[in-house]
Amino acid sequence: MPRVGVFVCHCGTNIAGTVDVPAVTEWAKTLPGVVATSDNKYSCSEPGQASIRKVIEENRLNRVVVAACSPRMHEATFRRAMVQAGLNPYFLEIANIREHCSWVHGNDKAMATEKAKDIIRMAVAKVTNNEALFPKTIGITKRALVIGGGITGIQAALDIANAGHEVVLVEREPSIGGHMAQLDKTFPTLDCSACILSPKMVDIGQHPKIKLMNYSQVQKVSGFVGNFEVEILQKAKRVDYSKCTGCGTCWQKCPQKVDSEFDVGTGKRTVIHIPFPQAIPAKPVIDWAQCRYCKFLDWKAAGEQGKKPPECRVCEKVCPVQAIDFNQQDQVVTEKFGAIVVATGYKTFDPAVYEEYGGGRLPDVITSLQLERQMNAAGPTGGEIKRPSDGEHPRTIVLVSCVGSRDAQKGRPYCSKICCMYNAKHAIMLKEHDPGVQVYVFYIDVRTGGKDFEEFYLRAIDEAGAVYLRGRVSKIYQDGKKLVVLGEDSLMGQPVEIAADLVVLAAGMEPNIGAAEIAQTLHISYDTYGFMVEAHPKLRPVETNTDGILVAGACVGPRDIPESVAQGSAAAAKAVGILSQDSLTVDPMIAQVDPAKCIGCLLCVAVCPFKAPYSETTRDKRTIAVINEALCKGCGICVAHCRPKAINLHGFTNQQLLAEVQALW
Amino acid sequence: MVTAYQPRIIGFLCNWCSYAGADLAGTSRISYPGNIRIIRVPCSARVDPLFIVKAFQYGADGVLVAGCHPGDCHYSEGNYHTRRRLALLHSFLDFTGIEKERLRLEWVSASEGKRWSQVVTDFTAQVAALGPRAK
């Protein structure tokens, strides 16, 4: 006989402020199977749990309904309390009367109370049909995969490796380093970005526990926490890394120059290249699509039509160790991991959609990242600020905030967080590079939330003499050699017109190219912009709803460097938490076939995305389906498909779900 | 005072996207009509058409099934099964004399608390406009 206990939580006033908790508690006694009810100020607190355990023992309860917050919040907490009270933890159901009731119906208390009763009625009906379930344990592959070799991924990989676990770091580009490697200085300390990043990059290259896979991409992920199987595509570098010494002869001699991605179009690179001098690995790749020899081969394959491109092969001729291998092909390797850290980072917003700012056609309107490359001593201009149009030193420079941030019309209503601070940095740095310049900054608000941030911003005004103008820029157009910037000073209430030599757009952050595809490959959630969704924005900031997959850094939302590093470390700690265990318990809420009912149609085998069901012949020569417990994820696709209703899903059985529906009438 | 007709609606919500989206609506205190009763399922593909038909049989005025956006299913392709299944069920409902506007399939992600409230508001109004079910 089910003996159900119903525990209604006040959650302070979160529930009790809207739902009449004492009345609901009293009413719940009338439900079929319920033998005890009680209410608690905070059920999840230790005293709350103790009182639940006491009621369970006193009334010899064998089923429990906790009417409180979402099961996504505290189901695990109350399952533990069940175990402590000596019950199977799966005899618990949560009635979500906070997120789904009191918090959304605060304006109608009577209705909310009635709805809470219904929710509890459904949970009681379900729990009466619950069965005892016993989790199984599985082994763990003690290796971690880190996707993305920016500062976040570097930090995560180093922390996991230093804890003693093997790490594979996958980077899409030829070198790790990410955006931080492109920066000249960092706010608010103005320390040199490369100087603090390079040692960490070198550590990655030399760490005995870290395997770096550059020029590679994750293309398929299967499995589950502790046992992921990942297909990694290694793009053909056409350089044999086992022979290459990184001497640099090839990229000095390569005759084909193209725009450098690393310099954001402000400089050139060769086709066989390392993106920047401190690159790790310090060995080149051939950008095959742009290579002269590739074009020659294409021309040959197309039947030698048209003009013959040069059959270059200079790199092959000059390489002292014969490391160039034009026949190298893309390779797919499959590796096993216990945990995955996603740190795919961001890209800067493309301001070309701002027609009023020239739509990308005015040469002297550049982005902050392009300015950053110009400022860098190792950059294309050797650290000199030059106008792209004529190479002259600009004297009047306008910085425009919030380009692709806080602009709902451009589909980017969120704040990119870092731009206010890097604008202040640029104002200070521009003055340092050339004391004769005058910097103007157009802003909506200056947001300086962070340690020493406000002081840094004031430095830009007081020391660098930057003029901050509150208002949006309405138009930028070319007038002779000058750029005319039209805007508004909303504090003075008057229009402003500045004749500038250079305009720098503070482009906001958006998810990196391919972020949504990575999320789909991993089956984790992402928001409308493509930022990854964390399991809980406050309490589980680096976890996802998929166990074993962690997210960190700017792929989750706009972050500055300290936050990204902190998140990389946090994700590493979570990964190490998984990898340091010897076995994991797996969710017993999976599908099971009743062999007596199975007709052997094997529709389940056809529909399962995880290949969990397989066919078996019984002793009486019948074909039936059986489900591999290790592969089943408990989605229930097969259950709903099963014609003779031979498959059921533990935890969400047909009986349980129908009881919930029926309870309402 | 005459009380306006209050339809009874059942919602089957996938655990990973829509249930979390409904949680987010709660966390963000975005209110919506209280006619819906939510049943949590691991995936929208867990919803057997039988559940929906039974719900109508018991007396539900509307049934809402919500899952992850196509391509975002936590189980890779569950929502595609749901989509096909419900397309079939829709034509079956017409056949049985239940207006097919009483059954709706929606995609609501874990970050779309606001969208969840709009979906419920909209569907509740739609079902209310249909009036009580013909016996």
pLDDT in tens, A160-190: 999 999 999 999 999 999 999 999 999 999 9
The token duo for A235 is: 């793009």
Q: How many CA atoms lie within 13 A of A572 on its CB side?
A: 25
Cα of A525 to nearest chain B Cα, Å? 7
Using the Cβ of B79 and the Cβ atoms of chain A, whether some distance falls under 8 Å is answered with: no
Give the percent of chain B with pLDDT over 90: 84
| A505: region left, alpha or beta (phi > 0 left; psi from -120 to 50 alpha) | beta
Burial class (CB in 10 A: 0-12, 13-18, 19+), A525: buried
Q: Cis bond leading into A188, ω under 30°? A: yes
User: Residue A453: is its pLDDT beyond 90?
Assistant: yes
Q: Is pLDDT above 90 for A271?
A: yes
Of B26, B59, B109, the CB nearest to A100: B26
| Whether pLDDT at A280 is above 80 | yes
DSSP symbol at A91: S
Cβ burial of A211 (10 Å; 0-12, 13-18, 19+) is: middle
Residue-wise pLDDT for A356-378, tens only, equals 999 889 999 999 999 999 999 99
Sheet arrangement for strand A166-170:
A210-213, A166-170, A143-147, A339-342, A549-551
- Nearest chain A CA: its distance from B71 CA (Å): 7
Dihedral of the CA atoms A401, A406, A411, A412 (nearest 10)?
80
The length of chain A, given as a count of residues: 665
- For residues A230 and A221, the answer to whether their CB atoms sit within 8 Å is yes
Q: Which amino acid makes up residue A26?
A: E
Residue whose token pair is 């009466």: A128
Query: Going by C-beta distance under 8 Å and a sequence separation of 6 or more, which residues neighbour residue A653?
Result: A129, A131
Mean pLDDT, chain A, whole residue set: 95
Nearest CA in chain B to A70: B23
Which DSSP category does A543 fall into?
B
Please say whether the beta carbons of A484 and A476 come within 8 A: yes
Transcribe A480-520 into DSSP letters.
TTEEEEEEEETTTTEEEEEEESEEEEEE-EEEPTTHHHHHH
pTM: 0.80
Q: In the predicted model, is pLDDT for residue A192 greater than 80? A: yes
Phi, psi of A152 (to 5 degrees): -65, -50
Please give the full DSSP string across B15-53, using - where no structure is assigned.
TTTHHHHHHHHHHTT----TTEEEEEESSGGG--HHHHH
Q: How far apart are CA A409 and CA A6, in angstroms?
A: 50
Residues 6+ apart with CB under 8 A from A659: A125, A126, A128, A129
Q: Where are the beta strands (DSSP E) in B93-132?
A: 103-107
Token output for B110: 């874990």
The whole-number average pLDDT for the span A506-511 is: 96
In 3-state terms, what secondary structure has residue A153?
Answer: helix
Interface of B with A in 23-52 (CB under 8 A): 23, 25-27, 29-32, 34, 37-43, 45-51
B75 touches chain A (CB under 8 A): yes
Query: Residue A12 burial (CB < 10 Å; 0-12/13-18/19+)?
Result: exposed
Is residue A264's pLDDT more than 70? yes
Residue A228: the pLDDT is: 94
- The residue among B69, B50, B79 whose CA lies nearest residue B108 is B69
Q: Which tops the pLDDT comparison, B45 or B96?
A: B45
Instruction: Report, as an integer, the average pLDDT of A448-473.
Output: 96
Contact residues, chain A, for B78 at CB < 8 Å: 609, 635-637
Q: For residue B1, what pLDDT is reported?
A: 42
Chain A residue closest to B32 (CA)?
A104
Which chain A residue shows the shortest CA-CA distance from B23?
A: A99
Q: Is B57 on the interface with A (CB under 8 A)?
A: no
Nearest-angstrom CA–CA distance, A132 and A562:
47
Q: Quick: pLDDT tens for A80-105.
A: 999 999 999 999 999 999 999 999 99
| pLDDT, position A242 | 95
Please give the pLDDT value at position B3. Answer: 61
Residue A91 to residue A65: CA distance in whole angstroms: 9
Pairing of strands A647-649, A591-593: antiparallel
pLDDT at residue A636 is higher than 70:
yes
pLDDT in tens, A220-259: 998 888 999 999 999 999 999 999 999 999 999 999 999 9
Q: Which residue of B has its CA nearest to A94?
A: B40
Separation between Cα atoms, residue A360 and residue A355, nearest integer Å = 8
* Arithmetic mean of pLDDT, A257-265: 94
Q: CB distance A609–B112 less than 8 Å?
A: no
d(CA A569, CA A162): 11
Identify the pLDDT of residue A19.
96
- Which of A631, A637, A650, A655 best probes binding to B when mutated, by most B CB atoms within 10 angstroms? A637
- A28-32, A36-40, A451-455, A524-528 — which is least confidently predicted? A524-528
* Model confidence pLDDT, tens digit, residues A544-578: 988 899 999 999 999 999 999 999 999 999 999 99
Q: What is the distance in angstroms between the Cα of B116 and the nearest Cα belonging to chain A?
A: 11
pLDDT tens digits for range A317-341: 999 999 999 999 999 999 999 999 9
For an interface test with A, the pick among B48, B53, B61 (most A C-beta atoms closer than 10 Å) comes out as B48
Q: For the purposes of burial, counting CB atoms within 10 Å of the CB of A479, is it exposed (0-12), middle (13-18) or buried (19 or more)?
A: exposed
Helix (H), strand (E) at residue B84:
helix B78-96
Q: Does A58 have pLDDT greater than 70?
A: yes
Of the candidates A429, A421, A387, the residue with the CA atom closest to the CA atom of residue A405: A421
Q: How far apart are CA A434 and CA A394, in angstroms?
A: 9
